Homo-oligomer: A and B are copies of this chain.
Amino acid sequence: MSNPRNADHPIESIFLNRWSPRSYDASEMPEADLLRILEAARWAQSCYNIQPWRFLYARRGDAHWEQYVSFLDDFNRAWGQHASSLVLVLSDRIMPGDGDQRPDLPSHYHSFDAGAAATHMALQAAALDYNAHAMAGILFDDIKDQLGVPERFKIEIAVALGRRGEKESLPDFLQEMEAPSPRKPLSEIAFSGSFPAHAIPESEAA
């Protein structure tokens, strides 16, 4: 389908081409393609270059695929099962010491940095004509228990990756949502100087 997104200021097309559909064609993804998508994530920025992100993944048809599909909640499983790969994004809550003078410390940026890596994934996927859909609706306890995720790692999200399928294969209510989402105008999110009174949410301003 055509992409109705228009930038108010000229930006790289990769940012507008990236969006998060739910219709996937249930094809298999070559491992080489998935590694390209993860490679892009690898080069994300992070606080002190700690690189707190970790990725666990399954590809359709491999030994872990059905298990990974079972990690999605009912809503996401309904469409996510037709993806080609599922990637779990984890982040390390501890900023590792240097083994010498600097001890292990709690990380204040592990989620922030993991968000950067996750969007690198999504952008690289878009560049390869794949789509990525990030999901918070996942079974965190099952993932932790079944995949042996260490306590110090936070399970952030799952990402469904695949090629677009027919929108008509989705349930009606999801078909209605199957379009690139709009954004707030820049004038509501970016301000020169001080935080303007008009941008304070009502719940706090009241």
Contact = CB atoms under 8 A, between A and B. Distances in A.
Given A15-B124, A112-B157, A157-B112, A150 B39 contact: no
A84 interface: no
A56 B200 CA distance: 13
Contact of A15 (B40, B104, B118, B153): B40
A189 B40 contact: no
A42 B193 contact: no
Nearest to A116: B119
Given A151-B204, A192-B62, A11 B124 contact: yes
A124 B56 contact: no
Contact of A136 (B36, B108, B192): B108
A181 B39 CA distance: 15
